Amino acid sequence: MATEAKYENVWELEEGEIRKPGIAHIVALALFTGIGIVVGTFGSLAVPIGFVSAFWPGQAIQAVGSIWYGMWGGIAAFLFPLISNAMSGSAPLPVSMAYIPGNFVQGIAAGWIFRQLKLHPALKYGRDWLWFTVVGILAANAFGAFWGTWVLRLFGLITPDSHLVAWAGWFMGNSVASWVLGVLLLKFLSPLVVKTKAFCKGYWA
């Protein structure tokens, strides 16, 4: 109890506070989807390696979205890749649809661990950095790369011999982008975001 008390808890509801989903959350969903489309499409075009991007900045949007906006960020995490993949031509629509579970997990993992452990979105404490890195970056992207490369394999877009290389490229490309850009977003924008009505202390509000 004493250990928990020394950390600032931005997730706790204040006395009498009632939070409900509203127009601010729809706006946040639309905004994150739009930003994701732009950076996702640019990243896919800029550094492609076959069906995998060597540095995909769109993953940073996935990494921080659910920390700030809960399930709305999780929805944006699988919605914008559908559009950015179509615009960049990096994946056929059936493949993009099959990516959805992996993208959702990548998008919700950090938000889940931050709420479970009451971590600070602005990465104020050592444990915030640790769990963001371990769960929000490494675990999320390991699963995302696993899911995505198996989708490519099932659709015959990569060979068994190239599977491990594709997984490594996917994992490293997403992890580097989401950690570097994600840290910058969390450190500098979280103090502002947590004060807005759109910030979700729960998963929907």
Residue 54: what pLDDT? Answer: 53
Q: Which is higher by pLDDT, 3 or 116?
A: 116
Residue 163: what pLDDT? Answer: 94
**Confidence tier at 1 by pLDDT (50, 70, 90):** very low
- Asked if the 20-193 domain carries CATH number 1.10.1760.20, the reply is yes
- How far apart, in whole angstroms, are the C-alpha atoms of residue 120 and residue 15? 20
Tens digit of each residue's pLDDT (9 = 90 or more) over 181-203: 999 999 999 999 999 999 999 99
User: In sequence order, what DSSP letters do the residues of 153-200 get, joined into one string?
Assistant: HHTTSS-GGGHHHHHHHHHHHHHHHHHHHHHHHHHHHHHHHTTSTT--
> Are the C-beta atoms of 89 and 115 separated by less than 8 Å?
no
Residue 85: what pLDDT? Answer: 83
All structural domains of the chain with their residue ranges: 20-193
Output the pTM of the full model: 0.90
Closest CA to 64 of 200, 196, 195: 200
Region 84-109 average pLDDT: 91
DSSP reduced 3-state for 49:
strand
Residue 138: what pLDDT? Answer: 97
Q: Which residues contact 90 (CB under 8 A, 6 or more apart)?
A: 44, 45, 48, 51, 53, 84
